[in-house]
Amino acid sequence: GQSLEQPSEVTAVEGAIVQINCTYQTSGFYGLSWYQQHDGGAPTFLSYNALDGLEETGRFSSFLSRSDSYGYLLLQELQMKDSASYFCAADTGRRALTFGSGTRLQVQP
């Protein structure tokens, strides 16, 4: 089967750095994506890692270690608008994704 594990909730203060971890077990793996979803909204794409290492996009970075079946999303200089749910998702080669259950991030002033 396919499974992706991530923490259910994380709380941090404005301006801080937070890391959201994701471990995966999938049959077939091409890469790990991260999506953001605000309450009542649709998921929006943040990043994708096909290779080991760190990818940086502005305040957000994502890391992948294939040997450890592990990745994380790093959010820097947290802002109130970053309060949302964050999902890791595995690309298993079908051009459709297998999602984790999501991490709810609460940013406090």
Partner 1 sequence: NAGVTQTPKFQVLKTGQSMTLQCAQDMNHEYMSWYRQDPGMGLRLIHYSVGAGITDQGEVPNGYNVSRSTTEDFPLRLLSAAPSQTSVYFCASSGVRTGSPYEQYFGPGTRLTVT
Pick the closer one to partner 1 by CB: 4 or 73. Answer: 4
Pick the closer one to partner 1 by CB: 23 or 31. Answer: 31
CB proximity list for 39: less than 8 A, separation 6 or greater? 84, 85
Cα–Cα distances in angstroms (integers) from residue 65 to residues 13, 18, 32, 41, 103, in the given order: 28, 19, 10, 30, 20
Binding site for partner 1 (CB under 8 A): 2, 4, 31, 33, 35, 41-45, 48, 50, 87, 89, 91, 94-102
- The CB-of-100 to partner 1 minimum distance in angstroms stands at 5
Pick the closer one to partner 1 by CB: 42 or 109. Answer: 42
